[in-house]
Amino acid sequence: EPRRTEVVTFQPAAAPAYTPPPRPAVVREAEPRRTEVVTFQPAAAPAYTPPPRPAVVREAEPRHAEVVTFQPAAATASTPSARPVSSRSESLSFTKVDAGSVAKPVPRAPSTVNVAPSRSGELPGVSALATLGVSESVAMRQVTAVGPSEFELREILYRAVRAAAERSPKVQAAVAEQYAADADIDEAKGQRWPQVDLSTTAGSKKFGGSSNNESSSSTGINLSIVTPVYDWGRIQSTIESRRHLSAAAASAIEAELENSAFDVTNRIVELGKQRLIVDLSQQYVDRMNELVKMLAGIVAVDKGRASELTQAKSRMLQAQAARDAAETKAKDAEINLRKLVGDRPIAIPRTPQWNIRLANLDALLGKVDNHPSLNQAREQTESAELQAKVVRASSLPQLNWVINKSTADDALGREQPWETHLSLSWGAFRGGSTRASERAALQRAEAGRQTAEQQRLDLEYGIRTANHEAKTFLERAELYRSLTNESDGIRVAFYEQWYHLGKRTLLDVLSAESDHYGNRVSEVSNRFDGYQAILRQYAGAGTLGAWLRGEAR
């Protein structure tokens, strides 16, 4: 009986009467959620668009407030966007940056310089040759930007180059080599004059045989004067060969000066680039710090968002690592520059753009043949050819005028008379060594000629490569400039959608900030790499020093 009772009570409990009610309840419960989402978006979207604008410029200031930078005198911190530069005569002033704190985390606007074209539609200050083969955006950036003008920038670079040349051991060694080459010329010229030799010997004593142990002569001074009369041009060829070596030494000095100038200017541009990257990295660190502080306050109220704080801290550490790496590179560049110029201060502009225009490729290619390295190689080749003539002339008969006089008495005690005669000497056979020396000198001359030709090709195509790289880097910098503006809008939108609407995750915001920082760094890197390529063009043509002095373009 108990078993039957359990069976009877179990069956009514399994009746299918309770299956239909849950379905309508689910449908009715889902509809209000969709209605709330649709009505919430339009009402909240326009309400939070204006807040991020007031503090945009204040956060973009660099960390190193003590560093002097070139900025327009009329610029104010409340300007929402960068103003265009209208002319080169704009007044500049040295102002220190005020690193203020921002109360509310708001995305920053990128620091850009917009340059407007002239009214006639042409590009002011840019010649057709200077902008040949480049895009319109790059041509627009060749106009004067904020900071020192091109003339002032050349003066800054030239002062550093001159300071480096004064203390460069390589330049001083090249100067010493030229002095040695000039002394070699004087040594060769001295062979034209009479060669006077003085000698003395002690009185000899004969012994043995029939000598009777008598002295053969008394002690005296022997005078010998030998004057070359005819040597088949040996001395003249030697003098000309030494003159070419002296000219080669002078060209070596110019080549060392060009190398020193390129090293210094390249280091200065590298230091300017790394300092700007340090500023951008510090701005990125400040932004991450603000997000971490804000999320720390949120997590204190809402413990469920602790993972977002962890993500922000991770990106903050990455930003600090990037900043430390940039500071290390900047310090290395500063040390390398100090090695070249010493402790002399150099006013390096700390602006995102420098007034360095593209070089004229055709004009530089036309000056390659006058490069100091090529002149040095040509002079050495000419010297080797003349040295072959010297070797050949020395193998021919040499005619000399000889004068002899001795103050010693002869065996009878009489004074010896003056003696003069013509002397003809000829090395008739030397086992072929003379002809071998001549062939060796000629082959060295040919080797020097081929070396000079290879150097000319290297310089020519080095200039072409640098010209291509300069245009490519500058065009790529303009692309990153446009990409920076777009990424700035994306990060602003992502921040608003995350902070005000909750439609974006914190990871989206952090990724947008990281992409924006990377684009800004890439813009600076490519732009300054383009400047270095322009300087490499002038150095390849051997006109960098003249360009810095304002003597060539």
In this structure, of 46-55, 283-292, 449-458, 504-513, the range with the lowest mean pLDDT score is 46-55
Q: How confident is the model at residue 519 (pLDDT cuts 50, 70, 90)?
A: very high
Contact 268, 346 (CB under 8 A): yes
Write down the pLDDT at residue 31. Answer: 39
Better pLDDT: 502 or 420: 420
Better pLDDT: 255 or 65: 255
Tell how strand 92-96 and strand 195-201 pair up: unpaired
Domain boundaries, the chain: 2-39
CA 199 – CA 208 distance, rounded (Å):
28
- Give the DSSP H/E element, type plus range, for residue 402: strand 398-406
What is the secondary structure of 501-519 as a DSSP string? I--S-HHHHHHHHHHHHHH
CA 98 – CA 78 distance, rounded (Å):
13
Question: How many CB atoms within 10 Å of residue 76?
Answer: 7
Most confident listed range (45-49, 216-220, 420-424): 420-424
Tokens 């971490």 label which residue?
292
Contact 272, 354 (CB under 8 A): yes
CA 494 – CA 487 distance, rounded (Å):
10
Residue 9, pLDDT above cutoff 90: no
The count of C-alpha atoms lying within 13 angstroms of the C-alpha of 344, restricted to the half-sphere facing its C-beta, is: 17
Q: What are 491-494's contacts with CB under 8 Å, separation 24+?
A: 491/107, 491/515, 491/516, 492/52, 492/107
Give the tens place of pLDDT for each residue, 477-490: 999 999 999 999 99
Write down the pLDDT at residue 147. Answer: 76
Q: Which residues pair with 93 in a beta bridge?
A: 71
Cα–Cα distances in Å, from 425 out to 192, 205, 344, 362, 401?
Answer: 17, 32, 63, 58, 11
pTM summary value: 0.69
Residue 58, pLDDT above cutoff 60: no
Contact 225, 403 (CB under 8 A): yes
Residue 433 identity (one-letter amino acid):
S
Tokens 């000419």 label which residue?
382
Angle ∠(121,354,117) on CA atoms, nearest 5: 10
Task: State the Rg of the chain over Cα.
Answer: 42
Residue 284 identity (one-letter amino acid):
Y
Query: Residues 5-19: what's their mean pLDDT?
Result: 42
Q: Write out the two tokens for 241.
A: 């060969």
Query: Residues 377-381: what's their mean pLDDT?
Result: 93
Residue 298, pLDDT above cutoff 60: yes
